[in-house]
Amino acid sequence: MRATERAGRRHGTRGAVAAVLVAAVGLLCVVLLLPLTASTTDSAREITLVIRNMAFYLEGGTEPNPTIRVRAGEEVRFTVLNRDPGFAHNFVVDAWDLETPFIETEASTTVVVRAPARPGRGEYVCTPHGKMMRGVIEVVGGD
């Protein structure tokens, strides 16, 4: 915003038009990104993943790197908790264009995304430990 204001002062009317345009584009971006970042309605599906011993687990689960199933088009809130001392991990689903920042030990990150509209199978991984921390994420038909 600061750059826009400066441009406005320097170029008068043309600058003001540009500022409005930039602001409009910015607003559009915010609206588009809202479902990805902002807190959403309570209807979002909650999936909590706990990382320990270089594997993902569903909260309370015992199966390493389990298959995660979601419904097509549903809103999903992933919380990823790192309980792996000495490691930084992340959670990446290429097919969904989803990538969390690195999560330090005993920290967690939450990301809200909308599942793809069409059923299919993708993979989730931790980037630096992708040979061991890798599982299937499955999108099934909505009902």
Partner 1 sequence: MIQPRNRGIAQSRPWSRRAWLRVAGLGSLTGGVAAAQGAVGGQVAPALATMPDHRGSAMGPVGRVSTDSFDPTRFLRAWNFSDLPSDERARVYRETPRADGTMLREYELFAVDRDIEIAPGVFFQAWTYNGQVPGPTIRATAGDHLRINFTNQGSHPHTLHFHGWHEPAMDGSLPAHQVLPGESFLYEFDADPFGVHLYHCHANPLKRHVHKGLYGAFIIDPPATSARPPADELVMVLNAFDTNFDAENEVYAANTVASFYVQEPIRVQVGQLVRMYVVNLTEFDLINSMHLHGMFFDVFRTGTSMTASESTDTIMLCQGERAILETTFRYPGDFMFHAHQSEFAELGWMGLFRAEAPSAG
Q: Where does this chain bind partner 1 (CB under 8 A)?
A: 53-54, 62, 64, 85-87, 128-132
Could you tell me the smallest distance in angstroms from the CB atom of residue 62 to partner 1?
8
Could you tell me the smallest distance in angstroms from the CB atom of residue 54 to partner 1?
7
How far, in whole angstroms, is CA 133 from its chain's centroid?
18
Q: Which is closer to partner 1, CB of 85 or CB of 141?
A: 85
Q: Which is closer to partner 1, CB of 15 or CB of 64?
A: 64
Q: Which is closer to partner 1, CB of 52 or CB of 114?
A: 52
Could you tell me the smallest distance in angstroms from the CB atom of residue 87 to partner 1?
6
Q: Which is closer to partner 1, CB of 12 or CB of 86?
A: 86
List of residues 6+ apart from 41 with CB closer than 8 A: 75
Helices (H) and strands (E) in the chain, counts: 1, 9
Could you tell me the smallest distance in angstroms from the CB atom of residue 92 to partner 1?
15
**Contact by Cβ (8 Å): 124, 134:** yes
**Contact by Cβ (8 Å): 46, 79:** yes
Could you tell me the smallest distance in angstroms from the CB atom of residue 9 to partner 1?
48
Q: What angle do CA 87, 97, 48 make, to 5 degrees?
A: 50
Q: Which is closer to partner 1, CB of 56 or CB of 87?
A: 87
Q: 140 vs 46, 69, 71, 85, CA distance in Å?
A: 16, 7, 5, 34
